[in-house]
Amino acid sequence: MSSESGVTDTSPERGGDDCSPPPTPSTDYVPPSQSAITSLERIRTEMHDIFGRAAKRFAAGDLGLIGWGPPPRVHQIHPDHHGKTWYFVGDIHGDFLAWHVLFETVRRDPDFRLCFLGDLVDRGPMDIECVAAILDAAERYPQQILWIVGNHDEAIRFTPGAERPFSAIVEPAEFTDWLNAPTNGIGADDARAWGHLFIAICNYLPRAARFPDGLLATHGGIPLADRWPHLTTILAFEQDGVLSDFTWTRATSAPKKLGWKFDPARRATSSSFEFGYKDLEGFCAAVSAVFPITEVIRGHDHVDGGYERPSGYGVIPLHTLNGFGFNHLTNSLANYKHELPLGVRRAGSPLEITRVTYSIDEYQTVYMPIVAPVPDIVATNEERAVIDESGGGYRNGLPSTLAE
C-alpha cells in the first residue's frame, strides 16, 4: 500500500476549515501475508468457535471493539487512541475478498486503529463469513477496531413463531434470507443463534464517533435541522431521532435539502432524508460549542470508484467511502473493482485515500465457484422509508477487464 503523501505499511470504553482539494489516490499491489482463500477457509473451519467465543465475550460485556457497550452511542475517541494512525473502511456488504484485502493491508501496521463505517451485510455473497471475520479480528486485536453501525446492520428483526422469523426493514436483505435458510452446511439452530447474536451486538454499536481534531465518523450523515435547537449538550445527541439521523441520512451535491419539512408523518418514523453542504455547515455551526466538527467521513451512499468528496463540501469536507469491490449499481461480481479505497489519517495530518489492489488468483479462488443470481430490486423515492439504495443481486464471473 502506498499513497502520494507517504503512507507506510506498517470492559468496553465510552467515552479550522479545510478547502484543500480531495486526496489524490494512488495504487500499489503488496501481496498479503495470508491469501484470501486461506483466510476464508480458516474462517469457515473455525466459524462455530468464533461465534461461540464472541457469545461468551458478549455475555461478559467485553467484545473487544472500541466504543461497544452501554451508551453513549455517540462515541468520543478515548485519549488512549490519540496519536495513532487511523484507517477507515467503508461499506463491506458481504464482500469477503474486500474485507480480507483491506484488513490485511491495515494490520501490517501493528499499532493500527481501524474505523469500519458500517454495513457489514447484504448485497454480497458472504455475509456470515464477514460477520465471523470482524468478530475474529476484534478478538485478535482488542480495542483496535471501531465498528460504527450501518443501516443494514441495525435493520434486522426477529419475530418468534413467524414462518420467516428473521426480517429486515431494508432491501435488499440477503443476510436475513440466509439466516432463515442457511447454506454451506450450517444448521438452522446455529444460524438462528448467530442471527440473534448479530442483532444483539449491533444494538450496542456506536452510531458515530468524534475524534479530538474534529473529524466525525458515521455511517449515514448528520442530524437534520429540526434536531439542532435541542443539541445543546452532549447528552442530547443520545436522543433516538438524532442517533437515527446519524445512521440513515444521505448526502447530496445540492446546497440544502428540505424534504423532511414536508413529510412529517415519515419524519416521525424514518430518518432516510437527504442533506446538502449548506445543511452540513449549518449543523456544524449550530453544535460548535458542544460538538465541534471540522470534517466528516461516512459510507452509506454507493459512489463510482468507491470514494467521493463532492466539490460543494469545501468548508466542511465530506468524504464518502465504500469498501466493497462489486459493481455498486448491479451488485455484480463480474464488474469487480481493480482497486479498493482505504482511508488513512495520521495524527495531525489530513485524510489520505490509498487504493489497495488484489491478485487475479485471489479473485478467482474466492469468487469463481459462486453462482447465485438473485432478482434485481429497484427502490423508489417513496419507498425509502423502508427500502435502502437501489440495487440487485450478485452474479458470477471475472471482472470484465481482468478477463480480457
Q: What is the pLDDT of residues 200-218, one digit of tens each?
A: 999 999 999 999 999 999 9
Higher per-residue confidence, 82 vs 19: 82
DSSP assignment of 107-151:
TTSTT-EEEE-S--SSSSS-HHHHHHHHHHHHHHSTTSEEEPPPH
Pairing of the two strands 352-357 and 215-218: unpaired
Q: How far apart are CA 184 and CA 198, in angstroms?
A: 19
Chain centroid, CA 28 distance in Å = 24
Domain spans, the chain? 27-403
Spell out the alpha helix ranges (H) of 33-89: 36-45, 47-60
Instruction: List CB contacts of 347: < 8 A, sequence separation 6 or more.
Output: 82, 83, 84, 85
Q: What is the pLDDT of residues 267-324, one digit of tens each?
A: 987 888 999 999 999 999 999 999 999 999 999 999 999 999 999 999 999 999 999 9
Distances (CA, A) of 148 to 44, 59, 91: 25, 20, 10
Q: Mean pLDDT score of the chain, rounded to an integer?
A: 86
Angle CA 361–362–364, to nearest 5:
65
Please tell me the pTM assigned to this model.
0.85
- Does residue 70 have a pLDDT over 60? yes
Angle CA 351–357–359, to nearest 5:
165
Instruction: Give the 3-state secondary structure of residue 56.
Output: helix
182: cell is 442457511
Instruction: Give the 3-state secondary structure of residue 345.
Output: strand
Q: What is the pLDDT of residues 95-143, one digit of tens each?
A: 999 999 999 999 999 999 999 999 999 999 999 999 999 999 999 999 9
Q: For residue 386, report the phi and psi dihedrals to the nearest 5 degrees.
A: -125, -10
- Does residue 386 have a pLDDT over 70? no
Q: How far apart are CA 167 and CA 161, in angstroms?
A: 12
Question: 27-403 has which CATH code?
Answer: 3.60.21.10
Ramachandran sector of residue 139 (left: φ over 0; alpha: ψ -120 to 50; beta: rest): alpha
Which pLDDT score, from 0 to 100, does residue 18 have?
A: 32
328, 322 in Cβ contact below 8 A? yes
What amino acid occupies position 191?
Answer: A
